[in-house]
Each structure stands twice: as C-alpha cells, then as structure tokens.
Amino acid sequence: MAAVCMIASAPVVACTRTSEGGAAGSAGRAGSAVGDDVKGVARSTEKTAKDIGHAAVDLGDKARKGLEDATDNAGASGQDAWITTKVKGEVTRVGLDPLHVHVDTDGKVVTLSGTVESASDARKAVSAASAVKGVLGVRDHLFVKPGQR
C-alpha cells in the first residue's frame, strides 16, 4: 500500500501597513493596517486548515475503500477455497481418484480438469461438483482416457 504524504503551507500575507514613524495622526491608520494584516493571516490559516481537513477526509475515504476491497477479495478467496475443498471431497465420495481429477474454483465457478476412465466418470464428477452448495457453475475440462470414450 502506498503511503501518501501531504504537506500544506499557508500563504504568507505581506504586511501592508505604513511605517510607524510617520506623522502624529498616522498611529490610528497603522493600527488599522496591522489589524487588517492579522485578519488576512487568520483567513488564510482558516482556509488552509479547511483544505487539510478535506484532504484528510478524502484520504480516509480512499483508505476505507481499499480496505473494503481487500476484505471482499479475501472473503471471496476463502469461499472459493471452501468450495474447492468440498468439491474434492464429493469427487472422492463418488469414487473418482482425487489425484487425477483437479479442482479449481474462481468466483464460485468450479473448473474440473485431469483424466478420468470413462465419460460416465466425467459426468459423475460434474454432477458431484454441481451439487456442492455455493457453486455457480462447472467447467468440464476432463479428458477421457483413449479407448474408453
């Protein structure tokens, strides 16, 4: 998972007040300019804080989505592994050699491959796989030994 680093910097507001050593009547005007500068910095700081807050929320949403996807994939993989195990058990139960009938499951769809003695054994394997709870479909890639077709 990639780490994201975000650096935010507040814009620097230049001081626009007049020199404090000005004429006797300029003290009020200089104080007003300083107050305006402080207000400008406060607005910039507030905007930056909001931007950082929005970015943090967006980053949190992306992280949540990534975790949901990972959890969903792990759950699907676990279900596929369970289905594979159950199908292997059923194939063995109907009398077929589990070393010659290979079972793979992806998205609850079972693929049977390998070699069986007869077309009847291939049908048994497909039927056994189809009967397992949770199986959405079965792909028959089984080969019947030559001379037994």
pLDDT tens digits, residue range 12-47? 445 555 555 444 445 556 668 888 888 888 888 888
Question: Is 20 within 8 Å of 32 (Cβ atoms)?
Answer: no
pLDDT tens digits, residue range 80-95? 999 999 999 999 999 9
Q: Tally Cβ neighbours within 10 Å of residue 26.
A: 15
Name every residue whose Cβ is closer than 8 Å to that of residue 136 and which is 6 or more positions away in sequence: 107, 108, 109
pLDDT at 82: 93
Ordered structural domains, the chain, with CATH = 26-144 (3.30.1340.30)
Q: How far apart are CA 37 and CA 26, in angstroms?
A: 17
pLDDT at 88: 94
pLDDT band at 148 (very low <50, low <70, confident <90, very high): low
The mean pLDDT value of the chain amounts to 80
- H or E element in which residue 144 lies: strand 137-144
Q: Which residue has the higher pLDDT, 65 or 97?
A: 97
Q: Which residue has the higher pLDDT, 56 or 140?
A: 140
